[in-house]
Amino acid sequence: MKMKTLVSSIALAGATLVAFNIHAADTIKVGVLHSLSGTMAISETTLKDTVLMMVAEQNKKGGLLGKQLEAVVVDPASNWPLFAEKGRELLTQEKVDVIFGSWTSVSRKSVLPVLEELNGLMFYPVQYEGEESSKNVFYTGAAPNQQAIPAVNYLKDDLEVERWVLAGTDYVYPRTTNKILEAYLKANGVAAEDIMINYTPFGHSDWQSIVSDIKKFGSEGKKTAVVSTINGDANVPFYKELGNQGISAEDIPVVAFSVGEEELSGLDTAPLVGHLAAWNYFQSVESDDNAEFITQWKAFTKNQDRVTNDPMEATYIGFKMWANAVTEAGTTDVDAVEQAMIGQETSNLTGGTAVMNKNHHLSKPVLIGEIQDDGQFEVVWETEGVVPGDAWSDFLPGSMDLISDWTAPIKCGNYNTKTKACSGQNY
Amino acid sequence: MYRLRKIQSVKRSICLKNLILFCCCLLSFLSLSSHAESTQSHPSDAIAVRDALLMDLTNASLKKSMPILEKIEQISSEEMLPVFTTLLEGGLYYVKSDRSLVQKRSIDGKTSFTTFPFLNKATNQQASELTSKKVKKIKVNNALRKYLRGAIARIQLSSTDISKRQSSVRSLLSSLDESTISRIHQLREKETDTGVKAMMDIALDLYSAENGSEREQVAAIRRLANSLENEVRNALTQLTKDDQPEVVRNAALTALKTIDQQVNRYALVDQLFFGLSLGSVLLLASIGLAITFGVMGVINMAHGEMIMLGAYTTYVVQLLMPNHIDYSIWVAIPAAFVVSGLMGVIIERGVIRHLHGRPLETLLATFGISLILQQLVRSIFSPLNRQVSTPSWMSGSVEINPVLSLTLNRLYILAFALLVFFALLFILKKTSLGLNVRAVSQNRNMARAMGVKTAWVDAMTFGLGSGIAGIAGVALSQLTNVGPNLGQAYIIDSFMVVVFGGVGNLFGTLVAAFSLGIATKFLEPVTGAVLAAIAVLVFIILFIQKRPKGLFPQKGRAAE
């Protein structure tokens, strides 16, 4: 199976290489490292298009530093080791100045050593599990304290949930997030028998017994909710099965961290109505910037039905900040841009301001929305103001004392406030 | 013309009058809202208040909608049933210009908005002229939906439809209060249907088990011991807590014990069903391979892609007939058989026949074909998954009792898999094509000497196997994602089933598919989904070591 994807992706990548090798010498190159095939294509192709749109937009404004921008697209084909290979190719052969890429944490972890070895710069636009802060990466998606923890608080306080199902796909993001959530719930007095944890492989399609277990777990008298870190296209059969077994959102609400407008557009939403998602952006949020962004997106894709989502907003913010930082620094040199990035401010699409903090994470508002039958979200709860992203969780024993600060004098992604020492590990 | 205008103007003046009335009533209502009951004695006033409240509903934010709905239920519950149900389904809209309520309907893919006939204030715009731009949706959230379900159940307690009465009593089990109980008590006297009566008894018992005197509690608990309702179990569990008197606690414990025994028995049935259902999916996926690989001996790595083609055919058929999704499956099944079957014949004629007797080359060639087909689909349909809708008769589940319900789509697929299996068995055993296929697979040269056109038989057999894989794709499109990688997910499972069952033995495939399905589903709760798959694979590897020819090896000369 892996062999197959590998072969097909090499063929595809070869084609893209040929297409993009013809370029003018004096351009600023923007690498795009998103899967265009395989299980994550459903989510990642949109982000590739978003970067292309931002690049075209920037070029219309006259580019950057008097040069035009040029996008270099490669396809790592949802194949995690291939992310490292493709990342190396972008940095050494294509000599790109910045990379926008990755969705799953396992793909980010795969490309990370390459970025650090070759001193590249990457913008990572997806919500993730935290516990990382690399000098070479800017995390424009949510850290757990900007998505998972507020979502659990909403369920706990507003919906009075007492039993918890933590269901996820079996890889690093769900495992770490669930570890943090479990610690957080236990710290808040939830008993161990009121937490059920379940992992499934990527692309899992036979959900009968798991959904039936959830149903049983939730029918024991206490209000139950599912916190879902199920990723990619496994969500479709999961929600279908929920609908078929008659679990409605009023009985057992599912709050998802990886299901947005884009994923819903490929789905019959009738059985999902009322289930929840926690993000930092919804297409339904009313603001001038958002209206403009949506119009621009529909025009760019020449499709009136295309939707926008949270990772797109994160890409948008990341790109705008990068463009500002390059202008400020007067160069695309990675070290100069990295320092110029910290403290950058730009308006986000929900009517507030995004700030890049010293730990390479953004300050963002947290929104919780209910799925509507048209595939959009109705915001039912939001934080007052923005929440700064926390790279190291305060609820895990190993990372309570750690902070990340990439400004002098600390300049460390992994600084222990108790021992006053940097761990030496790069990220 | 003139008359019409006059009528309209009269209508308008009535509207104006009503409006003034609303305002007065609203004022009086707000100041004396505790006397809402008294307004019921003046029907016209009640209607005016109700209409004013409905007007408020179009203005209200989600948080403010709840009290408004509660007031509406108090004033005029029964006639508001259509409004409540429409709101619950998310189909309640209002006209932007005059804030009157309309209902969204889609018939044959066309959306229209109709007014509620019983609301005297009809919209002054013609309902047929309403487009989605002129109306706005009244939003609902979970809290509202929960309330609406309760309200609808309370209204439907006195419905003429037996099943509606029963389901409303049932949905009220979780929120029994004094007023509901006294209402149920009254209705119990008049109730004629035994099923509804029994459900009402459960409700009454449940209430007295929690709130009655000690004697009543014990008696109620004893009567509840036969009920499998979830609420009953939860209430009984609460009654086993320490704060209850000893007699009650003991009664609850014995009742729970009886209930739990039954629940466990049904849980086993449930798990068995899941296993059979997974088995039927495995059977469907592998049965085509049982022919191409099992009977013909061709290692067909493109088998999964035949399944995928069938699934995409379903998608295309649904695109072609968007207003008849319910029947699309019946068109999709033969269409998928033809598409995949033809592709199979082309592959056999174009590639496989040239590689006869060279398994390694066949393996590589078909592997290449599978990549080509995947990329082809990717270029035509994009790498994104396509949405295949489930026909309404396949959604939902049949409830056998409160703890056991079987999902319909799985049930149909189980039946369908068996149907396909026996049809195939019939073709192989009872038709001349089947006879030829068996003859060629047993001894090619002898068959040729007897005048069998082996080349033709090869093409037909491969086409049959591929066509059946296509049919499997139709079934799988109802369960999983339709995307270019659909086939890859099933190719390994298919080979596993065929090898485990014994190559060349269709019956072995059946047994292997169901036993692997059931084994996986019984392992899953213990080990989790990831480990269960690994455990099954390890088991098969070990099994093949012991019995290289599978469960049912072919005997005699044919096996050579």
User: Residue A109 belongs to a domain with what CATH number?
Assistant: 3.40.50.2300
Q: Which of A385-394, B86-95, B300-309 has the lowest mean pLDDT?
A: B86-95
Q: What 3-state class would DSSP assign to A69?
A: strand
Q: Which of A286, A170, A220, A190 is nearest to B236 (CA)?
A: A220
- How high does pLDDT run on average in chain B? 82
At B247 the pLDDT is 85
Structural domain including A331 reads 2-144+287-364
Task: Name the residue type at position B243.
Answer: D
User: Would you place residue B4 in the very low, low, confident or very high pLDDT band (cuts 50, 70, 90)?
Assistant: very low
Give contacts of A212 with chain B, Cβ < 8 Å. Answer: 270, 274
Instruction: Tell me what pLDDT residue B548 has.
Output: 84
Q: Is pLDDT at B98 greater than 50 in this prediction?
A: yes
B386 touches chain A (CB under 8 A): yes
pLDDT at residue A258, as a whole number: 85
Determine the average pLDDT of the residues in B265-270: 90
- Shortest distance between the Cα of B509 and any Cα of chain A, in A, equals 20
Residue A400 inside a domain? The answer is: no
Q: What is the mean pLDDT of residues B413-431?
A: 93
Verify that A374 and A238 share a domain, yes or no.
Answer: yes
A231 and A380 within one domain: yes
ipTM field: 0.76
Residues A294, A280, single domain; the answer is no
Measured distance CA(A368)–CA(A151) in Å, rounded: 7
Q: How confident is the model at residue B184 (pLDDT cuts 50, 70, 90)?
A: confident
Q: For residues B279 and B128, give the distance between their C-alpha atoms in angstroms, rounded to a whole number.
A: 51
Are the Cβ atoms of A205 and B90 closer than 8 angstroms? no
Please give the angle made by the CA atoms of A322, A326 and A328, to the nearest 5 degrees. 115
| Whether residue A259 sits in one domain with residue A132 | no
On whether both A49 and A107 belong to a single domain, the answer is yes
Nearest CA in chain B to A215: B403
Asked whether residue A426 is domain-assigned, the answer is no
Task: Give me the residue from B139, B383, B528 closest to A199, CB to CB.
Answer: B528
Does B20 or A121 have the greater pLDDT score?
A121
**Of B400, B169, B213, whose CA–CA distance to B221 is shortest?**
B213
pLDDT value of position B26? 45
Instruction: Spell out, as residue ranges, where chain A has pLDDT lower than 50.
Output: 1-2, 13-24
A31, A151: one domain: no
The domain segmentation of chain B, as residue ranges, is 14-146, 157-244, 273-394+403-491
Q: Report yes or no on A399 lying in a domain.
A: no
Residue A206 to residue B278, Cβ atoms within 8 A: yes
Closest CA to B308 of B420, B419, B466, B417: B466
Tell me what pLDDT residue A375 has.
86
* Residue B2 pLDDT class (50, 70, 90 cuts): very low
Residue B411 parent element (H or E): helix B408-430
Instruction: State how far the Cα of B161 lies from the Cα of B493, in Å rounded to an integer.
Output: 48
What is the model's pLDDT at position A186? 94
| DSSP-H helix ranges across B351-385 | 359-381
Handedness of CA B395, B398, B404, B409 (dihedral sign): negative
Confidence band of B555 (pLDDT split at 50, 70, 90): low
pLDDT digits 0-9 by tens, B363-412: 999 999 999 999 899 889 877 778 888 888 888 888 888 888 888 989 99
B470 has pLDDT over 60: yes
Chain B interface includes A209 (CB < 8 A): yes
CB contact A236 to B (< 8 Å): yes
| Total domains, chain A | 2
Assess whether pLDDT exceeds 80 at residue B110: no
Query: Bigger pLDDT: B224 or A164?
Result: A164
Question: Which residues in chain B are closer than 8 Å to A159, comparing Cβ atoms?
Answer: 142
The mean-pLDDT minimum among A262-266, B146-150, B226-230 falls in: A262-266
Residues A194 and A225 in one domain: yes
Distance from CA of B483 to the nearest CA of A (A): 9
Higher pLDDT, B174 or B430: B430
A20-27: list long-range contacts, CB under 8 Å, 24+ apart: A20/A72, A20/A73, A20/A94, A23/A70, A24/A68, A24/A70, A26/A67, A27/A67, A27/A68, A27/A69, A27/A70
pLDDT value for A424: 62
- Each residue of B538-551: b (16+ CB within 10 Å) or e? eebeeeeeeeebbb
pLDDT, residue B32, reads: 42
**Contact list, A381 vs chain B (CB under 8 Å):** none
The answer as to whether A404 is a domain residue is no
State both tokens at A265.
């557009």
For residues A183 and A280, membership in a common domain is answered with yes
B384 vs A42, A216, A244: nearest CB: A42
What does the pLDDT read at residue A15? 47
Which tops the pLDDT comparison, B104 or B3?
Answer: B104
Q: How far is A40 from chain B (nearest CA, A)?
A: 9
Q: Compute the distance between CA of residue B164 and CA of residue B147 in angstroms, rounded to an integer.
A: 17
For residue B124, give how far its alpha carbon lies from the nearest alpha carbon of chain A (Å).
Answer: 28
Q: Does B37 score more than 70 pLDDT?
A: no
Whether the CA torsion B118, B124, B127, B131 is positive or negative: it is negative
User: Residue with structure tokens 């989510």?
Assistant: A43
Helix (H, G, I), strand (E, B) or coil at A362: strand
Contact B472, B287 (CB under 8 A): yes
Minimum distance, in Å, between the CA of residue A336 and any CA atom of chain B: 38
Please report the residues numbered 291 through 350 in chain B whose beta carbons come closer than 8 angstroms to any beta carbon of chain A: none
DSSP string, B216-264: HHHHHHHHHTT---HHHHHHHHHHTSTTS-HHHHHHHHHHHHHHHHHHH
Residue to substitute from B106, B481, B520, B537, interface A, most A β-carbons within 10 A: B481
The pLDDT score that the predictor gives to residue A24 is: 46
Q: Would the CB atoms of B384 and A266 count as touching at under 8 Å?
A: yes
- pLDDT of residue B16 exceeding 50: no
Q: Look at A370 and B142 and tell me if their CB atoms are within 8 Å.
A: yes
pLDDT digits (tens, 9 = 90+) for A301-340: 998 888 999 999 999 999 999 999 999 999 999 999 999 9
Q: What is the mean pLDDT of residues B440-463?
A: 89
Token output for B90: 């998310």
Same domain, A99 and A125: yes
Q: Does A306 touch chain B (CB under 8 A)?
A: no
What is the pTM for the complete model shown?
0.79
pLDDT band, residue B35 (cuts 50/70/90): very low
Q: For B48-64, what is the mean pLDDT?
A: 79
Of the partner residues A7, A204, A212, the one whose CB lies closest to the CB of residue B270: A212
What was the pLDDT predicted at A343? 93
Stretch (H or E) spanning A355:
strand A353-356
- Residue A2, token pair as written in the block: 């892996």
What is the average per-residue pLDDT within B79-107? 81
Nearest CA-CA partner of B336 in B454, B441, B416? B416
At residue B68, what is the residue type? I
Q: Is the pLDDT of residue B33 over 50?
A: no
Quote the pLDDT of residue A9: 53
Does one domain contain both A234 and A319?
no
Interface of B with A in 440-479 (CB under 8 A): 479
Which residue in A205, A209, A266 is closest to B271 by CB distance?
A209
B408 and A244 within 8 Å at the Cβ level: the answer is: yes
Q: Which of B230, B370, B492 sits opposite A219 (nearest CB)?
A: B230
Q: What is the pLDDT of residue A185?
A: 95
Tell me which DSSP letter residue B389 carries. P
Asked if residue A423 belongs to a domain, the reply is: no
Kindly state whether residue A417 falls inside one of the protein's structural domains: no
Contacting A residues, span 269-298, partner chain B, CB-CB under 8 Å: 271, 273-274
- β-sheet bridge partners, residue A421: A416
Same domain as A238, residue A98 = no
A 355-384: CB under 8 A from B: 370, 372-373, 378, 380
CA nearest neighbour of A227 among A269, A207, A198: A198
Asked if residue A139 and residue A12 are part of one domain, the reply reads: yes
**What is the rounded distance in angstroms from the CA atom of residue A229 to the CA atom of residue A372?**
20
A420 belongs to a structural domain: no
Kindly indicate the confidence band of residue B513, based on its pLDDT and cuts at 50, 70 and 90: very high
